[in-house]
Amino acid sequence: MLRLALLVAIIVRAEVCAAQPTAPIDPPSVDEANTGAGALASGPRVPLGDVAGDHGGQVMVVPNPADARPGAITRGKQLFVRMNCAGCHGYDAKGGMGPDLTDRYWRYGGSPLAIYASIIEGRPQGMPAWSAAIPSEEVWDIVAYIESFGGASTARDAWAQREGDRPGELTAPEIAPNP
């Protein structure tokens, strides 16, 4: 008897809910969607993927917006340690379980935008995506700190970074041919 009463109550509730009109939910506007914790407070939105179409060999150059903020490298160093980047890349950033960040061998590109994308999106084989944990402004501070080691390329070298490793030219040691 109790089961029957419970079943009737569930059916009645479902019919009442189905009969009530609901207003459609509009997706957030672009401005509303970019005001969350991961959004950069000021500056351009950063497209992380390739842009479709032929651009005549031109690639978008995005300089690090943190370069204009005093103390970005110091804040980036503090975040590098606090977020345990040093646990994989070493406290001197010369590598460990993760790759060396002081050399010129960058599998996914060493331009400011490529480093930002690696931190935000993560990379296969161990680099986690930090987009949910670190706001964009702080990621740019980490990028400024990594750039301070001298191994990253400038934003103007984006095309060379996009080309990747070439045998005999800045080839990553793990893919260099054995003599």
Q: What pLDDT digit, counting tens, does each position of 28-71 carry?
A: 444 444 444 444 444 455 555 555 555 555 555 677 888 888 99
What are the domain boundaries of the chain?
61-172
Q: Mean pLDDT over all residues of the chain? A: 73
Going 63 to 133 to 118 to 31, the CA torsion angle's sign is negative
* CATH 1.10.760.10 is the classification of domain 61-172: yes
pLDDT at 56: 52
CA distances for 117 relative to 11, 47, 173, 179, angstroms? 50, 9, 23, 34
pLDDT tens sequence across 108-143: 888 888 899 999 999 988 899 999 999 999 999 999
Half-sphere exposure of 31 (CA within 13 A, CB side): 0
- Please give the share of the chain, as a percent, with pLDDT higher than 70: 53
State the Cα–Cα distance between residues 115 and 142, nearest whole angstrom: 9
Cβ(61)–Cβ(70) below 8 Å: no
Query: How far apart are the C-alpha atoms of 65 and 42, rounded to whole Å?
Result: 9
Cα 57 versus chain centre, distance:
24
